[in-house]
Structure 1
């Protein structure tokens, strides 16, 4: 079972540091190459660069939460959720389809129902 993961291209888990401006300040973000690849796909779907995507994510997270504690972890979770939402059929695997046009509220509601603990779900 583990061979599938252990023998994958080691460049996928190598980290890369990228410098960018967030909220008017120069900073850098270190992520594994796999996450940079996913972020490139997400950004490309809406005609943005990765730096533009990260800037928008940072600003909207700051606006929604009031602070940004661990932006790199947030980005990893964004990538994982993007892939999970594709598997669930909520986000098309067609990279030409923009994400901006999706009904985020409906997708979030369906996702919450899918992820709710089984004990809290009504019996079928």
Structure 2
């Protein structure tokens, strides 16, 4: 995602006082972007943490509905998935349970 110069990433110092020619890391870019925008709060999660991702729990409900089903066509599978997702959507207590199970705050903190 860095501007290209001659087919290679352009060297950009990591900070104003740095003599390094390495481009800034994603973390330092996001931290500086967050610092410049007081309306933004970035919550960092591990790269892959299914126990912290409420969507994984929702997909678990959907998988249970399709575990021992042979679908005749891709359309049959599509209809079954959409139906199960819609039923889950209509049961807010299931979604709340998925969020609660992660241990994450349902309402993120407001920036000070």
TM-score normalised by length of structure 2: 0.22
Q: Give the number of the structure whose alpha-carbon radius of gyration is greater.
A: 2
TM-score normalised by length of structure 1: 0.20
More strand by share: 1
